[in-house]
């Protein structure tokens, strides 16, 4: 039996490569043949997945986090000369302790510094992976550090929200009711001030509106999960598989609205293949559960391997 293993990261605990290795261990224990195909949706981990698929190298660059503190960062240079910059790398929420979160003052400047480093290295195309930001500044901080007209900028968006939909994610970045009002005023003002009004265009709310700010200066916006699955040759690999296993740290309603596991399940359904999902937490309710042949909870590498082995032996 040939199984396509296509998990995303388990955010904060396991990278997609670690998850797929654990899944492969379980598949081997059950006597199944595994095709390792880690995926991503435009959030953190996207650069590693694209490097694994296309080849290339990591490049180091200094930058600043969302609070302006100097940090050491990296970006990816793919074999074809395309650069991949993750917003989460410099401007990410994961860079900040919970008590340090500053939803009003947090800046995407560090992301702009990494894009500038990629342009200085000769990249003519930059993929900006928009997930995991600590900011709601519509990318203004980033835009201070590079000229968007200097290269083709493509935003890989992990959510499909319109520009002001960025407010939906502000509470997890530390915003209370008063700050939400201030951020709403900021985004409403920027809609008028930006060269082009991002309005309610889909995907413009990604990364605290950074996708919208970059779009207003000529960037192209694409669904991150679809882009990555196409880049790793998912459909061709799906065509020779007998079942699919995917996974992520926590599954809920948002998983089916632009996230990698939702896109994997959609393509598996089109191919009339069973799609099983392994997750750290199961918070999916209602009809969405029907997208998957099974949902198993396993939060460690050992538990993931055991869950896959049990599933394939059943």
- pLDDT tens track, the chain, 314 positions: 899 999 999 988 999 999 999 999 999 999 999 999 999 999 999 999 999 999 999 999 999 999 999 999 999 999 999 999 999 999 999 999 999 999 999 999 999 999 999 999 999 999 999 999 999 999 999 999 999 999 999 999 999 999 999 999 999 999 999 999 999 999 999 999 999 999 989 999 999 999 999 999 999 999 999 999 999 999 999 999 999 999 999 999 989 988 999 999 999 999 999 999 999 999 999 999 999 999 999 999 999 999 999 999 98
Give the Cα separation of 187 and 75 in Å (integer).
28
CB count in 10 Å sphere of residue 6: 32
Q: Judge contact between 263 and 10, C-beta under 8 A.
A: no
CATH 3.40.50.10350 domain span(s) along the chain: 2-39+233-313
CA distance 88 to 6: 22
Please work out, in degrees rounded to the nearest 5, the angle formed at the alpha carbon of residue 55 by the alpha carbons of 84 and 70: 35
How far apart are the C-alpha atoms of 238 and 131, rounded to whole Å? 26
Q: What is the pLDDT of residue 291?
A: 93
Architecture of domain 2-39+233-313 in CATH? Answer: 3-Layer(aba) Sandwich (3.40)
Domain 46-226 class, CATH top level: alpha beta
Q: What pairs with residue 275 in β-bridges?
A: 244
pLDDT at 258: 83
Place of tokens 């490569």: 17
Q: How far apart are CA 287 and CA 290, in angstroms?
A: 6
pTM: predicted TM-score of the whole model, two decimal places? 0.95
In 150-284, which ranges are continuous DSSP H helix?
Answer: 177-193, 210-215, 224-231, 234-238, 260-270
State the pLDDT at residue 200: 83
Which ranges in the chain are annotated with CATH 3.90.1510.10? 46-226
Closest CA to 255 of 8, 4, 3, 1: 8
What the block records as the tokens of 199 is: 């309005």
pLDDT at 26: 97
From 257, 274, 277, 267, select the one nearest 232 (Cα to Cα).
267
Q: In what order do the strands lie in the sheet with 56-64?
A: 56-64, 70-78, 83-86, 125-129, 152-157, 220-223
Query: What is the spatial order of strands in the sheet that 33-36 belongs to?
Result: 33-36, 2-5, 243-251, 275-282, 294-297
């Amino acid at each position: 039996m040939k199984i396509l293993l296509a998990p995303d990261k388990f955010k904060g605990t396991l990278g997609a490569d670690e998850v797929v290795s654990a899944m492969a261990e379980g598949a081997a224990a059950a006597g199944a043949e595994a095709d390792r195909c880690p995926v991503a949706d435009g959030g953190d981990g996207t650069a590693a997945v694209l490097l694994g698929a296309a080849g290339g190298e990591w490049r180091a660059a200094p930058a600043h986090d969302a609070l302006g503190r100097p940090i050491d960062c990296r970006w990816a240079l793919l074999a074809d000369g395309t650069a991949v910059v993750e917003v989460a790398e410099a401007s990410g929420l994961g860079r900040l302790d919970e008590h340090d979160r500053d939803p009003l003052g947090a800046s995407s400047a560090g992301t702009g510094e990494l894009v500038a480093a990629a342009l200085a290295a000769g990249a003519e195309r930059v993929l900006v992976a928009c997930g995991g930001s600590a900011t709601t500044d519509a990318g203004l901080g980033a835009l201070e550090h590079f000229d968007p007209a200097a290269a083709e900028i493509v935003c890989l968006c992990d959510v499909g929200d319109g520009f002001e939909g960025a407010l939906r994610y502000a509470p997890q970045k530390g915003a209370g009711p008063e700050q939400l009002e201030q951020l709403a005023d900021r985004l409403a003002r920027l809609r008028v001030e930006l060269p082009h009004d991002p309005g309610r265009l889909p995907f413009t709310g990604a990364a605290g509106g950074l996708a919208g700010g970059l779009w207003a200066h000529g960037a192209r916006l694409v669904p991150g999960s679809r882009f990555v699955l196409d880049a790793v040759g998912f459909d061709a690999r799906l065509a020779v598989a007998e079942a699919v296993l995917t996974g992520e740290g926590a599954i809920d309603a948002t998983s089916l609205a632009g996230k990698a596991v939702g896109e994997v399940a959609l393509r598996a359904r089109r191919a009339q293949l069973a799609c099983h999902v392994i997750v750290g937490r199961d918070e999916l309710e209602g009809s969405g559960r029907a997208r998957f042949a099974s949902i198993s909870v396993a939060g460690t590498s050992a538990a993931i391997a055991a869950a896959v082995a049990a599933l394939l032996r059943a």
